């Protein structure tokens, strides 16, 4: 049985700043993801705070929200079979130092905070996060 899903991917400011968006989009395409929607935006800190609300109690929350709103980002709706899990696998571990060879964070990530990409962590959160950026 097929299980086509959509998930949210964000190319974070560190990667956009280094002009890596085409290379990162190629990683998705060569791994059978279709980019259904995409836009380049620059969000306010208040919007980042809303997006990352789940991390509100974490010590890195304020820096994380300042960072995500520090420059342009590319937000995308990705689609493929098991997109949520497959995107998490392709991204690699949160800390690029721990990410496996061949993953996006291993290839492009700089540090745990500047780790180049965001990806939804569950089907439920993917729906919420896609609505956050793409609801008309
Ligand atoms: N993060 C950080 N310091 C930490 C843990 C996380 O700066 O100690 C940042 C990092 O950019 C990460 C984001 O917070 O991507 C969200 O954390 P999460 O645990 O959800 O990791 P992810 O789902 O992005 O792998
Ligand atoms: Mg997460």
- Cβ atoms of 21 and 15 within 8 Å: the answer is yes
- Cβ atoms of 116 and 109 within 8 Å: the answer is yes
110 C-alpha vs ligand 1 centroid, how far in Å?
13
Q: What is the pLDDT along the chain (136 residues), one digit of tens a residue?
A: 899 999 999 999 999 999 999 999 999 999 999 999 999 999 999 999 999 999 999 999 999 999 999 999 999 999 999 999 999 999 999 999 999 999 999 999 999 999 999 999 999 999 999 999 999 7
Where exactly are the structural domains of the chain? 4-134
0.95 exceeded by pTM: yes
Residue 107 CB contacts under 8 Å (≥ 6 apart), including other chains: 27
Query: From CA 81, how far away is CA 53, in angstroms rounded?
Result: 28
44: DSSP letter: -
**Nearest atom in ligand 1 to 114's CA:** 11
> What is the assigned CATH class of domain 4-134?
alpha beta
106 CB near ligand 1 (under 6 Å): no
């Amino acid at each position: 049985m097929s299980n086509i899903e959509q998930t949210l991917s964000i190319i974070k400011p560190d990667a956009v700043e280094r002009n890596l968006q085409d290379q990162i989009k190629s990683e998705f395409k060569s791994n059978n993801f279709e980019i259904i929607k995409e836009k380049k935006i620059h969000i306010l800190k208040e919007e980042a705070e809303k997006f990352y609300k789940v991390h509100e109690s974490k010590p890195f929350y304020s820096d994380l929200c300042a960072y995500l709103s520090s420059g342009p980002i590319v937000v995308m709706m990705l689609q493929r079979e098991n997109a949520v899990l497959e995107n998490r696998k392709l991204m690699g571990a949160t800390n690029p130092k721990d990410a496996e060879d061949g993953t996006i964070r291993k290839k492009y990530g700089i540090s745990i905070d500047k780790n180049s990409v965001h990806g939804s962590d569950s089907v439920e959160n993917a729906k919420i996060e896609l609505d956050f950026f793409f609801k008309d």
